[in-house]
Structure 1
Amino acid sequence: MQKGTGRNIFVAATYAATLLLGLILGQNYIDQQGNNPGSSLVPIGLSDNSYKIQQALDLITRSYMDSLDLDSLQNGAINHIVSHLDPYSSYLQPNDTQVQNEVLEGTFEGIGLEYFNLNDTLLVVGIITNGPAEKAGVKVGDRIFQIDSVQVTGKSVARKVVERLIRGKKGTGVKLQIIRDGRFLDAAITVIRDQIQVSSIDVSYMIRPTVGYIKIRRFGLKTAEDFKAAILDLKKQGANNLILDLRDNGGGYFHIAIRVANEFFHDKKLLVYTDGAHEQRKEYFSEGNGSFAEGKLVVLINESTASASEILSGAVQDWDRATIVGRRSFGKGIVQEQFDFADGSRINLSISRYYTPLGRSIQKKYTANWSNMIEHATMYKGLWALDTTFAHAQVYETTEGRQLFSGGGINPDVPVSLDSNAISLLYQEIVRSSYLEQFVYERFTTHLPAYSIENFLQGYHLPQQEYDMFIQYLATKGIVVNERKRKDLLELIQTDIEAIVGRYYFGREAYFKVKNRTDDFVEKALEILLPDPPIL
C-alpha cells in the first residue's frame, strides 16, 4: 500500500436514479471537495495481532493444497472487514473506483452520445451539445449498426460491450456506420474521442416569470460553479424566488454541498459540523457572499434525498432560510473519506458523523444483521438493517421558533403525500421494463415535429387513442392493465410519454418541463412562493 493521490471527503450514495435512460457512452444520464493532501494507508495503533490477517494469507498461499489467486483473496478479506464496519464504508475494485471518479467529477473520455437499444438496434436518443459526436455529424435518430469492424445490430449487445468499443483515449478515432432516415449512409462517420463534461445540474429554467427552478442530480466536482452560474442567469431573467430540487439526489462531495449552501447566505453562518472518535470537531461556515442570499427559497426533498443533499437541506432549514417541501429524507449523517491503494482500488471509510447547525444528527438507526450472511454471492446484501421510522430523539428550536427534530432524516416543513399510483407495483414494473421508451421510440421518432419547443410544451398532450394503444402494447409484452388501473395510471403515463417525446426532440430541459407541469411537489412550492392575493 502506498500514499493515496487524493484525500477526498465525500458522502456515499452518489447514484441517483432518474427516468433518463441509456448511456452517454461513458456516462449515464440515469446516471452516477477538491483534492487535499493524500491519506496514508499505514498501520496505526498496532496490537500483537495486527499482522494476523497477513500471516493467515501467507500461510494459505504457502500451504494450501491448490493454486490460488492471491489478489482475489486479499480483495475478499478487505471487503469482508470493511463491510462489517457500518452500512456506508465500502471497498471498491479499480474499475469501480474509476466509475465513481467519473460520476463525481463529471468527466470521461468518450464521444458524448446517448443511445437506447431498440429492437436490437442502437438508436441515438441524445447528443451532448458541441461534443465529439455532434461535431462529427451524428444526429438524434441515427441508428448505429457497426462500430469500427464490429456489427452491433440484429443482436442484443451488452452495455459494457458498447462502452468498450466506443470509449478510448482522447484524440483517437472510432468509426460509426449509420442508418439515417431508413437508408445506410455511404461512408462511416469518424468521431474523435475527447474529454466529455457532463453537468450534475439536470436543468435550470424559469418556471414562472419570477420563479427559477434548478434540479441538482448530485454534488460533483463542478456543481458549485455550475450552480452559481445558473443562479446568476436566472436572476438576469427576473428570478427573485427559487425552487431547488434535491429529490433523488443521493449526495456527492461534502465540501461541494457546503459551497452550494453558501450561496443562500449573506453573512457567516455555521452550515454543518463533523465529529468522530479520531476526528476532532470541525465547523464549516458560509463565506457571506451568497449569490442568492435574498429571495424566497423552497427546497424539494424525498426519501432518496441523502447525505450531501441532507447537509444542504438541514442548513437552510435550521436557519429558517428555506421552506422544505416533500417527504422525509433518507437519513444518512455519516461522512466517508477516500483512501486509495496503489492498484487503483479504494476504501471509502466512515470517519465522522455530521450535524446540522442546531446540532441535529439526521442519521437513521442501523443494526448489524449478520445472520443474513448465508450464501457467499449475497453475503453482503441485507448485512445492515436500517430503521425506517423517524425517531424524535431530541427537539431543537430555530430562531423563528420552529421545532425541528433529530433522528432519521430531514422532516419537511410542508409534506407531500405519497401517490399510491406512482408507488404501485404495476407502475413500477412498467417504468423498470423500459416499455415506455420502446413505445415512444417505435411510434414517435419517424419524422421531426413541425413545431417549436414552446408550441410542444404549451399544446402537446398525448391523445387518448395513443394511451389506449400503449395499454394494448403492454398486453403484448405480458403486462395486463385492468380497467380501473387504466384510469388510475392515465395521468402518470401520459406525462411520462410526453416527457420522453419532449426529451427526444428538444433535449432534457423539455423532459423536466413536461414532468413539472403535473408535479405535486412543484405545485406545493409554487403555492408557497406565489400565494394567491387576498380578495377584497
Structure 2
Amino acid sequence: MAATYGAVLLLGLLLGQNFTDENSRTGRNTLLPLSIIDNSGKVQHLIDLIADNYVDSIGTDDLQDLAIDEIVAQLDPHSEYLRPNQALKQNETLEGSFEGIGIEYYILNDTLMTVGLIPGGPAQTAGMRVGDRLLAINGDTIAGKPISEKMLEKKIRGRRGTAIEIAIHRNGVDLPLPLKVMRDRVEVSSIDVAYLIDSVTAYIKIKRFGAKTAEDFERSLRNLKKQGARHLVLDLRENGGGYFNAATALASHFFDDKQLIVYTQGAHEPRVDYYSSAEGLFGDGELAVLIDENSASASEIVAGAIQDLERGVIVGRRSYGKALVQEQFGFGDGSALNLTVARYYTPLGRCIQKSYTIHSDSLRHTANLPVLGNRDTTAYVTTSGRRVYGGGGIAPDVFVPADSNRASLLYRKIRKANFIETYVYGRLTTSVPSYSVENYLKGYFLPEQEYERFLEYIRDRGMEYTPDEAKVAKSMVRSDIEALLGRYYFGSEAFFKVKNRSDEVLARALLALHGE
C-alpha cells in the first residue's frame, strides 16, 4: 500500500472541467467543427459526445472511470484511481476504525463461523463467542446457502447506533433467541502483537502504518519496558506501508531529537526534510528490524533510517523497493486518486525505488543480491565506513533465505485450497481444551497421527501428493495448524507466539541482539 499523505481535495481533478453543450444535431450535419475542441478538455468532451450521441445508452460514470483508469495506467505502478467503495475501505483500514459489530468469520460448509472477536467490540459485548455459527441475520437465513462476502458485508456492516439480530448455533444447539447487537465504531489496532520473548527482549509486529500506529506502538513499548524490556525486535515483514507521517513518527522513537529520518522531493515538490521530533522512547536499547520482500514504502522508511544511521541491525530478506510518496485527492462521489507526488530518500540520500519493469525477483528470496534492473550503483557510506546502496529495496545486514519448505508445491496448493482452515475449524475445534495458554505454547505440538489424518483429509478431497512432498510440507502445515488452533482458543497473541517458535529470521535477530 502506498505511503500516503492525508490531504484530500474535494473537487474534481482530472476530468472536472465541463464544457458547453454542442449545437443539437439536425440529422444532416455529422461532422463537428474542430475549433470547438480544446485539447485541455478533450477527454471530457469525448465522453459527453458519446453520452449524447451514441447508438446505445451508456453511463457517463462508467466511461469516466475507464478514462481515468487508462490515464493513471500511464503513470507509475503506485498511482491508482479508487472507486468510492475502494477508497472507503482503504481509508478505514489506515484510520484503524469502521462501523460494524467487530467479528472475524470463516465460511465453513456454507455456514458462517465466528473465529475471532474484536476485544470490547459490539459483538463481544452482546455475548457472541468464538465458535458461534450464524444461522440468520435480521430474520434472513444465511446458513446452508451460498453467500458472497459482499452480501455478508451489506448485512453485517451498518451505521453506528443501528441494531442487528443474529440467530446463533452454539455447542450443538440453537440459542432460543437471537442476539441483539448494536452496531458501533470498531477500533482495530495496527499492532499485530506485542510481548516479551524473554525477560529483556520485546517483540512488536506491525501490520501497517495507519493513523494510530505511532500511538499504539508507544503504548505497547511503554508497557513492555515496565516489564523489563531492554532490547527490541521490530517485525515489519509483510508490512506494505501506509501513512508517510506514521512512519516518521514511529522512527522518531529510535533517535534523539532532530535526527534526519527521511526527505522527499519531486518535480512539483521542493525538498522537505523530516526529523525525529523528540527524544526517542527507545533511543538507546538494542534494536533489530525484520524485513522481507513484502516490506514496502513506510516500512522501508523506518528500516532505511535505522540502517543509514546505524541505529540497529536489519535482518531478513531484501525489501520490496518502493520509494514513492502518494497524496490522495478525493472526488465528490467518494472516489479518490492516489497520485505519486514525490520520491523519498534515506538520510544518506539513497532512493531505494526498484525499476517499474521489475515485478518480481526470486533472487531476493535465496541470496542477498542486488535487484535485477537496478540502475543505482552508487555506494553510500555510513559513519563507521559501511557501504550501503540505493535502488531495489533495503538489503538486510543479516540475510536469511526463504524457508524452502514454504516454497514447496504441495504446501502452496494446500494454502490456496484453504484446507488448513477448513480442517482446523471443522474437525479440531469441537471441544474446549483443558490446558492453559501457557501450557499450550510450551507443550502442544501437532501429533504425528493428526498430520497423517490431515493428509488423508486432503487426499479424500482430490489432492494428490507423493510421500516426499508430504514430508517437505510437514513442518509448515503442522506450524500453521498449531498456530490457528492457538488463535481460535487463546487469541491472536497465541497465534504469533506459536509461529515464532520456529521462525528462523527471528532466531537470527535474537542472536544478533546478543552479539552472536
Match of 1:193 in 2: 183
How far off is 1:43 after superposition?
Answer: 7.7
> C-alpha distance in 1, partners of 2:411/2:504?
17
**What's the offset of the Cα at 1:368?**
10
Counting only pairs closer than 5 Å after superposition, residues 74-113 of structure 1 correspond to structure 2 as 74-113=64-103
Q: Decide which of 338, 344, 349 is 2:328's aligned counterpart.
A: 338
The structural deviation recorded for 1:38 is 4.5
C-alpha contact 2:11 2:332 (8 A) present in aligned 1: no
Once the two structures are TM-superposed, the CA of residue 474 in structure 1 deviates from its matched residue by 1.1
The aligned counterpart of 1:441 is: 425
SS of the aligned residue for 2:251 comes to helix
Structure 1's 306 and 37: CA in aligned 2 closer, same or farther, altered over 3 A? closer
Does the CA contact (< 8 Å) of 1:361 and 1:407 recur in 2? yes
Secondary structure of the residue aligned to 1:50 is helix
Equivalent residue for 1:219, pick from 204, 209, 212 = 209
Structure 1 position 480 matched with structure 2 position 464: yes
How big is the shift at 1:413? 0.4
Q: Highest Rg: 1 or 2?
A: 2
Counterparts of 1:406 and 1:111, CA distance in 2: 45
Structure 1 window deviating more from structure 2 (428-437 vs 256-265): it is 428-437
Name the counterpart of 1:132: 122
Corresponding residue to 2:486 among 482, 502, 507: 502
Q: Distance in 1 between matches of 2:206 and 2:146?
A: 33
Moved more, 336-345 or 49-58: 49-58
Secondary structure (helix, strand or coil) at the match of 1:114 reads strand
> Which letter maps to 1:313?
A
Residue 364 of structure 1 aligns with which residue? 354
After TM superposition, the structure 1 = structure 2 runs for residues 394-413 of structure 1, keeping only pairs within 5 Å, are: 394-413=378-397
Give 3-state SS (helix, strand or coil) of 1:320's partner. Answer: coil
**Quick one: which amino acid aligns to residue 477 of structure 1?**
R
The whole-number CA distance in structure 2 between the counterparts of 1:125 and 1:41 is 42
Are the aligned partners of 2:500 and 2:506 in contact in 1 as well (CA < 8 Å)?
yes
- Give CA-to-partner distance per residue, 1:138-182, whole Å, 9 cap, x none: 111111111112111112221111111111110111111011110
CA distance in 2, matches of 1:432, 1:294: 43
Aligned partner of 1:3 in structure 2 is none
Look up the equivalent residue of 1:60 and give its one-letter code: I
1:158 corresponds in structure 2 to: 148
SS in 2 for 1:449: coil
Partner of 2:362: none
- In structure 1, C-alpha distance between the alignment counterparts of 2:129 and 2:13, rounded to whole Å: 52
Output the CA distance in 1 between the equivalents of 2:466 and 2:373. 34
Counterpart of 1:467?
Answer: 451
Specify the alignment match of 1:206 in structure 2.
196
* Corresponding letter in the other structure for 2:94: L
Q: Which residue of 2 aligns with 1:58?
A: 48
- Work out whether residues 160 and 184 of structure 2, in 8 Å CA contact, stay in contact via their aligned partners in 1: yes
Aligned partners of 2:68 and 2:358: how far apart in 1?
A: 18
Q: Aligned pairs, how many?
A: 485
Structure 1 residue identity aligned to 2:135: F
Partner of 1:489: 473
1:298-309 equivalences under 5 Å are: 298-309=288-299
The answer (yes or no) to whether the contact 1:272–1:355 under 8 Å persists in 2 is yes
Task: Note the 1:3-22 alignment, pairs <5 A.
Answer: 12=2
Following TM superposition, by how much is the alpha carbon of 1:267 offset from its aligned partner in structure 2, in angstroms? Answer: 2.9
Structural mapping, 1:118-129, within 5 Å: 118-129=108-119
1:361 CA displacement: 0.5
Contact 2:410-2:470 at 8 Å conserved across structures: no
The residue type paired with residue 185 of structure 2 is Q
**Is contact 1:328-1:411 (8 Å) kept?**
yes
Which residue is 1:430 aligned to? 414
Partner of 1:522: 506
| Cα distance in structure 2, aligned partners of 1:504 and 1:287 | 40
Equivalent pair of 2:9/2:331 in contact (CA under 8 Å):
no
Specify every segment of 5 or more residues in structure 2 that has no aligned partner in the other structure, as ranges: 18-36, 360-370
For the 8 Å contact 2:291–2:319, the answer to whether it is kept is: yes
Cα distance in structure 2, aligned partners of 1:74 and 1:438 = 42
Task: Tell whether 2:268 aligns with 1:284.
Answer: no
Residue 296 (structure 1) aligned with residue 286 (structure 2):
yes
Q: Contact conserved, 2:8 with 2:328, CA < 8 A, in 1?
A: no
Report Cα offsets for 1:58-91 as digits up to 9, x if no partner.
2222222222211111111111101211111111
Instruction: Select between 513-522 and 393-402 the one with higher mean Cα deviation.
Output: 393-402
Deviation at 1:493, TM superposition (A): 1.1
TM-score (norm 2): 0.91
Preserved CA contact (<8 Å) 1:471 1:481? no
Q: What is the CA-CA distance between 1:478 and the residue it aligns to?
A: 1.7
Q: Deviations over 1:70-122 (max 9, x none)?
A: 11111111111012111111111111110111111110011011111111111
Which deviates the most, 129-138 or 359-368? Answer: 359-368
Cα distance between partner residues in 1 of 2:48 and 2:13? 19
| CA-atom RMSD in angstroms | 1.9
Task: Give the superposition deviation at 1:530.
Answer: 2.5
Match of 2:367 in 1: none
Q: Shift of the alpha carbon at 1:270?
A: 0.6
Q: SS of the residue aligned with 2:40?
A: coil
**Which residue is equivalent to 1:421?**
405
Separation (CA, whole Å) in 1 of partners of 2:195 and 2:73: 42
Deviation per CA, 1:213-236, whole angstroms, max 9, x where unpaired? 000000011101000111111111
Tell me what 2:107 maps to: 117
Residue ranges of structure 1 left out of the alignment (5+ in a row): 1-10, 15-32, 370-386
Equivalent residue, structure 2, for 1:239? 229
Is the CA contact (8 Å cut-off) linking 2:247 and 2:302 kept in structure 1? yes
